Amino acid sequence: MTPCELGIRGERAAERYLRMRGYEIIENNWTCFAGEADIIARDGDCIVFVEVKTRSNLNVGLPEEAVDAHKKARYEKIAACYLREMEQGFDEVPVRFDVIGLLVVSSDRALVRHHINAFGQL
């Protein structure tokens, strides 16, 4: 499986995971000048921007460890662009940034780590 295929499978698994927990998926792979948001979802009244990282081994560390300060700053720009385009201000809707790390352990199983409000943990 190519890294691209692995990433797509991981994003689909993350969507299923979020839906099972009551999230409403609003957008998949939403793009703007700042980049791409893997998943944009609604959790209650909160809009959640979700970065998904999938790995097939731990050779380069846990999947979620790939979300560095640069990627966090990019996601904040993506969120601002999305909210501006949807004509929603930051003061009108709560916004949260989550990270989902998936470690594939077999063809049909993965370990999932969901970091809720991951950017608030800095």
∠ CA(114), CA(118), CA(122), 5° rounding? 145
pLDDT at 24: 96
Q: What is the pTM of this model?
A: 0.89
Domains and CATH numbers, the chain: 3-121 (3.40.1350.10)
pLDDT tens-digit series, residues 42-74: 999 999 999 999 888 877 777 788 888 888 999
At residue 94, does pLDDT exceed 70? yes
At residue 88, does pLDDT exceed 90? no
- Distance of alpha carbon 58 from alpha carbon 37, whole angstroms: 24
- Distance of alpha carbon 65 from alpha carbon 58, whole angstroms: 11
Strands 24-32 and 35-43: antiparallel
Name the H helices within the chain: 3-20, 69-85
pLDDT band at 82 (very low <50, low <70, confident <90, very high): very high
